[in-house]
Amino acid sequence: MSEKKLNYEYCDKLVRDFEEVVKQPIVSKSSVYYTGVDLGTACVVLAVLDENYKPVAGAYRYADVVRDGMVVDYIGAIKIVRELKQELEEKLGAELIYGAAAIPPGTDALDSGAVKNVVQAAGFELTNLLDEPTAANKALKIQNGAVVDIGGGTTGISILKNGKVVYIADEPTGGTHFSLVVSGAYRMSFQEAEIYKRDSKNHKELLPVLKPVIEKIASIINQHIKDHDVDEISLVGGTCCLTGIEEIIEKKTGIFTHKPKNPMFVTPLGIALSC
Ligand code: ATP
């Protein structure tokens, strides 16, 4: 690994605080709450911040309401967001009014309406709808380099110059494909493979099995960044929880690659920060 060190201090603290409030919400006297709604292929996450943009509550649920970044079960998505919202409101003893959401880059023409309607139908006043990598960077605070968000169904790639997104792309591959590989290799059902894959105790054993699919993602990253001057890649998204994924991507791209401590909650928190 290169000696270069990007400062994830702010992001790591934000995520650490969020993990705590998911377990135990902080009942505060905040005058306003900001909720980030991340409607993912694998997971729906709600992240709630107080008036000082500090995490106070959060909840998530694995669900199958979005595929490859597109809402496929509209009613199911509304139901989950509404239930998670109510659950958090009861815990906080406050109404969650303002919500922001994000969509994978490039799906705005097709799907931004659906995401917007889901968030509004669940009872939020939508204050912002932005693309996922831009949202992630609200938490990461990267000035220059690439942010690669490997979620369940999609991989979003964004390139930043002086803190601004100058290039954005989305590819239909992600953790779902990892689970399919595990399912095939271990003769497990997809569900069993998902659970097996998420357990960090199995990561060392799984890394060689998943190496070809990680290298495929790395070659996709290469295609997108080849015309840009990128000397640093930041990984976010649940799939990047896989221990050692950054080393394989770094080797294949030849670019310093690293990730915050828990890449899974970076985008939902970034969405909440954009609320
Ligand atoms: P998308 O961004 O594609 O719409 P999403 O928002 O649901 O999907 P994330 O929540 O960022 O995506 O990530 C979900 C993926 O991360 C799933 O494939 C899940 O299996 C994987 N994942 C979650 N935790 C872990 C873990 N500890 N180890 C490996 N993979 C994990």
Alpha-carbon gap, residue 2 to 230, rounded angstroms: 15
* Distance from residue 6's CA to the centre of ligand 1 (Å): 23
> Which residues sit with their C-beta closer than 6 Å to ligand 1?
38, 40-43, 66, 69, 151-154, 174-176, 194, 197-198, 200, 237-239, 241-242, 264
* Distance from residue 162's CA to the centre of ligand 1 (Å): 28
* Distance from residue 60's CA to the centre of ligand 1 (Å): 12
Phi and psi for 236 in degrees, rounded to 5? -135, 180
Q: Nearest Cα to 184, choosing from 175, 193, 176? A: 193
* Distance from residue 40's CA to the centre of ligand 1 (Å): 8
* Distance from residue 28's CA to the centre of ligand 1 (Å): 30
Pure H helices in 123-171: 132-140
pLDDT of residue 225: 95
In eight-state DSSP terms, residue 264 is G
pLDDT of residue 1: 43
Residues 14, 15, 17, 22: is their CA dihedral positive or negative? positive
Which residue minimizes the CA distance to atom 28 of ligand 1? 198
Alpha-carbon gap, residue 62 to 76, rounded angstroms: 12
| β-pair type (70-71, 66-67) | antiparallel
The pTM assigned to this predicted structure is 0.90
What is the amino acid identity at position 117? N
The dihedral region occupied by 53, where left means phi > 0, alpha psi between -120 and 50, and beta the remainder, is left
Which residue minimizes the CA distance to atom 17 of ligand 1? 152
pLDDT of residue 4: 52
Q: What number does the ligand 1 atom closest to the CA of 156 have?
A: 2
Phi and psi for 72 in degrees, rounded to 5? -110, -20
Alpha-carbon gap, residue 181 to 171, rounded angstroms: 18
Per-block mean pLDDT, blocks of 10 residues, the chain (275 long): 64 95 93 95 93 97 82 92 97 96 75 86 96 90 93 91 90 93 97 96 98 97 94 95 97 95 94 97
CA dihedral 97, 98, 102, 108 (to 10 degrees): 90
Whether the predicted interface score ipTM is above 0.85: yes
Q: Nearest Cα to 51, choosing from 64, 33, 26? A: 33
From residue 271, alpha-carbon distances to 94, 132, 183, 190 in Å are: 20, 8, 32, 29
- Identify whether the C-beta of residue 74 lies closer than 8 Å to the C-beta of residue 81: no
pLDDT of residue 2: 43
pLDDT of residue 107: 67
